[in-house]
Amino acid sequence: MKKVKIALLGLGNVGRGVWNILQMNGEEIMKRSGCQVEVAKILVRDPSKARAVKVPEELITTNFDEILNDDSIKIIVEVMGGIEPAREYILKSLNKKKHIVTANKMLLATYGDELFKKADEEEVMLNYEASVAGGIPIIQAINESLTANKIEKLYGIINGTTNFILSKMELEGSDFENVLKEAQEKGYAEADPTSDIEGFDAQYKLAILSSLAFGTKVKIDDVYREGITKITSKDIRYAKDFGLVIKLLAIAKETDGKLQLRVHPTMIPATHPLANVHDSFNAVFIKGNAVDDLMFYGRGAGDLPTGSAVVADIVSILRSDVDTENRLPVEKNNLWHKEIGEINDITSRYYIRTTVTDRPGVLGEITAIFGRHGVSLRSVIQRGRIKNEEEVGLVLVTHYTEEKQLQGAINEVKDIDAVKEINNMIRIEDFN
């Protein structure tokens, strides 16, 4: 049995998962890869740090060069996260013709092009299944299983933290702030939750997924982004009245020759498979022109699920014979150049929640403005006022309309005296 030495860069959550899987499923991995995997070195910043995993002390190092200059180490598993020094370490390792497995979405979304090009030049593999949607093998599916398809649409619930929060809000009627606090206590949300709740994490992941699915270069800023901080329990209740639920949806679709890329809270039909993705689960829904609808569902985070994807990437390198330098047989990225659309150019249905003074004629004024902007309304809900309150909630749902027309209408409505606030505007996706 051939022994293959690997090194881990990082021993956090994912690194621990990788270590534990290699221990607990060693026999499976050996039989399936034909090789025995040996972790030869583990790079950490602070060896004295208390960790939830026990590894032999002699494996730990703080000196990357020890790993880089060890020619017996064939595979580098980068699970440290962040841009630098991860990027530097990967580039140097590629230069030494070491294969790379990485779970680093931020790095790939930012410098993916540079890294893939370098791996290609050095004729080594760079695998990154764990960078999107944790344990769900979505990269493999797009790269290997959907090659017969033109992918037309891709929708993803690819951030577990926000899905946990929105599911809880839906289930319990609680408000955003309370649920966020609970998520932080349970470890589902970080102390600084910005990256999740403002949609940055999903933005990185959609950049990676869409560049693969549509075979084109996608930069992070090509993806329009809105977080979930403005969603209230009121919006969730109204959504329910319309048979809809609110998800932080990552959307990529080609319309009129342009690629629409966006991450924002989205109302979707309660009967759609994505609406039934609860808690911290992730799911990616794809429509291909041959395969039609497909959905992949699973754990988008966690040490073992993410480790499962990392170790599968290691096995795939082992199977392709780590001793011969392996070239990716064909280029999988940037097959086409696709133009990226602007958020203002999309066509959607919209939900708008406003607070207005309850006096005669307000509704007429508002609907007249929407009409002038060419926005046709499908439903209007005005709840009767409570006791002596002067202000009432007014919710509008539009038919399909262009975003720029809608924004024009909202801007004008905002200036009506009786309109106290535009509380929220949420796009509705009906998957047509």
Which residues bind to a second copy, rule: CB under 8 A? 17, 21, 24-25, 28-29, 31-34, 129, 135-137, 140-141, 144-150, 215, 273, 276-277, 281, 288-299, 302, 304-305, 307-312, 314-316, 319-321, 329-330, 332, 335-336
Collapsing DSSP states into helix, strand and coil, what is residue 305?
helix
Distance of CA 114 to the CA centre of its chain: 21
In whole angstroms, how close is the CB of 27 to a second copy at the nearest point? 9
Q: Which of 377, 360, 359, 378 is nearest to 368 (CA)?
A: 377
Task: CB nearer to a second copy: give 309 or 343.
Answer: 309
CA distances from 147 to 129, 298, 317 (A): 17, 22, 20
Is the Cβ of residue 32 or residue 385 nearer to a second copy in the bound state?
32
Q: Please, which residue, 331 or 421, has the CB nearer to a second copy?
A: 331
CA distances from 134 to 130, 276, 339, 388 (A): 5, 19, 29, 51
190 has binding-site annotation: yes
105 in a labelled binding site? yes
Min dist CB 255 to a second copy, Å, is: 18
CA distances from 316 to 68, 308, 385 (A): 22, 12, 63
Which of residues 37 and 418 has its CB atom nearest to a second copy in the complex?
37
Sheet with 2-9, side-by-side order of all strands? 60-61, 35-43, 2-9, 73-78, 99-102, 126-127
User: The tokens of 423 are what?
Assistant: 């509380």
Is residue 253 within 8 Å of residue 153, measured between CB atoms? yes
CA 339 to chain centre: 21
Say whether 205 is catalytic.
Answer: yes
CA 92/CA 90 separation, integer angstroms = 5
Give me the least distance between CB of 143 and a second copy, in Å please: 9
- Integer Cα distance of 245 and 359 in angstroms: 31
Which residue is catalytic, options 205, 247, 253, 338? Answer: 205
Exposure on the CB side of residue 232, measured as CA atoms within 13 A: 9
Q: How far apart, in whole angstroms, are the C-alpha atoms of residue 428 and residue 251?
A: 12
Least distance in Å: CB of 259 to a second copy?
A: 16
* CA 268/CA 246 separation, integer angstroms: 6
Question: Please, what is the minimum distance in Å from the beta carbon of residue 81 to a second copy?
Answer: 20
296 or 400: CB nearest a second copy: 296
363/353 Cα distance (integer angstroms): 13
User: Nearer to a second copy by C-beta: 169 or 392?
Assistant: 169
Q: Least distance in Å: CB of 131 to a second copy?
A: 14
Residues at the annotated binding site for NADPH? 105
Which active-site residues does the annotation give? Answer: 205
Residues at the annotated binding site for L-homoserine? 190
